[in-house]
């Protein structure tokens, strides 16, 4: 499994503490140490000509936070907001800098622990998601939980965007 050394150190007890959230019919997980807060869906200010992954901006206690949609990153069909839709504010590393980003979730389930021994590497065949976006696949109560490599999800987007814009500027 691709667990970071910080995560491995934090998991001497043999489990990973996660926040589970729903995207479509899938259950994804983000490490709780990365989660800053979960918000009800506020009004999102759209940004003209932004990448499809970016939904817009929100104000969180005077701080501007970019809102993203993981449905788009994972090649899933985006869903219309419902009463259960939430924004999960997470810290990601973008070009080595900690950055707060909001991401849409169709629903947020719970904070729980996922035993390390229930997790496996993502299979190389039969996956509909890019394998570098998946740290591990866990099993809990008969369900699969996809543990996202959230830094890799955001790093790939930023790298591609910067490369495109540097080429255009040249």
Q: Secondary structure of the chain: what % helix, strand, coil (to 5)?
A: 25, 45, 30
Containing structural domain, residue 16: 5-140
CA 36 vs CA 25, 31, 138: distances in Å: 24, 11, 23
Residue 19 lies in a domain: yes
Residue 115, in any domain of the structure: yes
Instruction: Specify the number of domains making up the chain.
Output: 1
What does pTM read for this prediction?
0.80
Residue 145 in any domain: the answer is no
In this structure, what token pair is assigned to residue 67?
């809102």
CATH code at position 105:
2.40.50.180
Q: Give, for all 170 residues of the chain, the pLDDT tens digit.
A: 445 444 453 444 589 999 999 999 999 999 999 999 999 999 999 999 888 889 999 999 999 999 999 999 888 889 999 999 999 999 998 888 899 999 999 999 999 999 988 898 877 666 666 777 888 899 888 889 999 999 888 885 544 443 333 344 44
Q: Is residue 28 domain-resident?
A: yes
Q: Among 77, 101, 75, which Cα is nearest to 88's?
A: 101
Residue burial 111-148, b: 16+ Cβ < 10 Å; e: rest: ebebebebbeebeeeeeebeeebbbbbbebeeeebbbb
């Amino acid at each position: 499994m691709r667990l970071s050394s910080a995560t491995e150190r934090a998991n001497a007890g043999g489990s990973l503490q996660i926040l589970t959230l729903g995207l479509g019919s899938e259950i994804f997980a983000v490490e709780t140490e990365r989660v800053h807060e979960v918000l009800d869906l506020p009004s999102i200010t759209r940004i003209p000509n932004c990448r499809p992954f970016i939904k817009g901006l929100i104000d969180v206690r005077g701080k501007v936070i970019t809102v993203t949609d993981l449905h788009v990153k994972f090649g899933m069909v985006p869903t219309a907001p419902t009463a259960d839709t939430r924004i999960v504010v997470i810290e990601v590393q973008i070009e080595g800098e900690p950055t707060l980003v909001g991401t849409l979730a169709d629903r947020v389930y719970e904070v729980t622990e996922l035993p390390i021994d229930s997790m496996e590497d993502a299979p190389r065949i039969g996956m509909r998601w890019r394998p570098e976006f998946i740290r591990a696949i866990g099993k809990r109560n008969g369900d699969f939980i996809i543990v996202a490599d959230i830094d890799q999800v955001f790093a790939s987007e930023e790298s591609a965007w910067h490369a495109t814009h540097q080429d255009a500027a040249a």
